[in-house]
Amino acid sequence: MKIVFLTGAGISAESGISTFRDSDGLWENYPVQDVASIDGYIRNPELVIQFYNERRKQLLNVQPNAAHKLVAALQDYFDVVVITQNIDNLHEQAGSKKVIHLHGELMKATSSTNPNDPRQIQTLNADNPLIHIGDKAKDGSQLRPFIVWFGESVPQIEPAIKEVEKADVFVVVGTSLNVYPAAGLLQYTNLHTPIYLIDPKPTNVPSWMPVTVIPQKATEGMKELTRYLPESPLL
- Does the active-site annotation cover 103? yes
Rounded Cα gap, residues 143 and 7, in angstroms: 28
Furthest CA-CA distance within the chain: 55
Q: Which of 68, 103, 132, 192 is catalytic?
A: 103
Contacts of 120 by beta carbon, 8 Å cutoff, 6+ apart: 110, 111, 114, 137, 138, 139
**CA terminus-to-terminus distance, the chain:** 17
Kind of pairing between the strands at 211-214 and 195-198? parallel
What type of residue is 207?
A: S
Kind of pairing between the strands at 195-198 and 169-173? parallel
**Catalytic sites, residue numbers:** 103
